[in-house]
Amino acid sequence: MSAAGIPQLDDASKRELEGFLEQEQAKAKLQASIHELTNTCWNTCITGSISSKFSKSEAQCLENCVDRFLDSSLFIVKQIESQKQQL
Amino acid sequence: MSSLFGSGAATPDMAARKEQMKQSIQQELAIANAQQLINKINENCFAKCISKPSTSLTSSQETCLSQCMSLYMAAFDQVSRSYVSRISKERGAAPPGIGL
């Protein structure tokens, strides 16, 4: 698409597009986190060789993986905060 | 008439251009997302299935790759669902200041 069209939009349209862009960027960020998390959880949980479906423990591990990853993240932040207070 | 967002002043021409921009933005994002997924699948499934690269892929390596693809996509699905539901849960009852 040519950038030449942009200045011809009125202010309301520009604002609308800016809002839209922000929304799409937030979506892109969310998607990027999901790719990262899938990669992490795959490497953590899928330890055996590949077959037509996940083993029971692999499926269980995948189900828990995201929540425990986020728990770890919260735990670490809390830990750092409490250490900061002791200084 | 063709102004879907009813901002009144917009001419049909401008509204069409705006819609076109939105669509191309969304399309770019969808393509980038698909590429990212394909790269990750290749990275991880290559590691799982091709332990010793030889002069061509063997049929068992191809079987492994196609099974691995479906499994990786299933994992991606599971992770998306867990992540999105966790985020909405945290937003519902989150202590302020912890932004995910």
DSSP structure string for A50-80: --SS--HHHHHHHHHHHHHHHHHHHHHHHHH
Q: What's the CATH class of domain B12-79?
A: mainly alpha
Per-residue pLDDT band at B99 (split at 50, 70, 90): very low
**Of residues B86, B44, B37, the one with CA closest to residue A46:** B44
Contact B21 A5 (CB under 8 A): yes
| Separation in Å, CA of B56 to nearest CA in chain A | 20
DSSP state at residue B94: P
Q: Any idea where the domains of chain B sit in the sequence? A: 12-79
Q: How confident is the model over B8-36, as pLDDT tens digits?
A: 555 778 788 888 889 999 999 999 999 99
Task: Copy the structure tokens of residue B53.
Answer: 């690269």
Mean pLDDT of B83-100: 76
State the residue range of the domain holding A46. Answer: 11-86
Contact B22 A67 (CB under 8 A): no
Q: Is residue A4 part of a domain?
A: no
Mean pLDDT of B61-89: 97
Query: How many C-beta atoms lie closer than 10 Å to residue A69's C-beta?
Result: 18
- The Cα B95–Cα B67 span in angstroms is 42
Q: Which of A2, A40, A50 to mutate to test the interface with B (most CBs of B within 10 A)?
A: A50
Tell me the CATH number at A59.
1.10.287.810
Between B48 and A8, name the one with better pLDDT: B48
Q: Is residue A5 part of a domain?
A: no
Looking at this predicted complex, what is its ipTM?
A: 0.84
Contact A50 B45 (CB under 8 A): yes
- At residue B13, the pLDDT reads 81
Q: Is residue A73 part of a domain?
A: yes
87 residues of chain A, pLDDT tens digit each: 555 545 577 888 889 999 999 999 999 999 999 999 999 999 999 999 999 999 999 999 999 999 999 999 999 999 999 998 887
Nearest chain A residue to B29 by CA: give it: A28
Contact B74 A32 (CB under 8 A): no
Provide the whole-model pTM: 0.81
Total domain count, chain A: 1
- At residue B15, the pLDDT reads 83
Note whether A20 and B25 are within 8 A (CB).
yes
Strands (DSSP E) contained in chain B are none
Return the residue matching tokens 């921009």. B21
Mean pLDDT of B80-94: 90
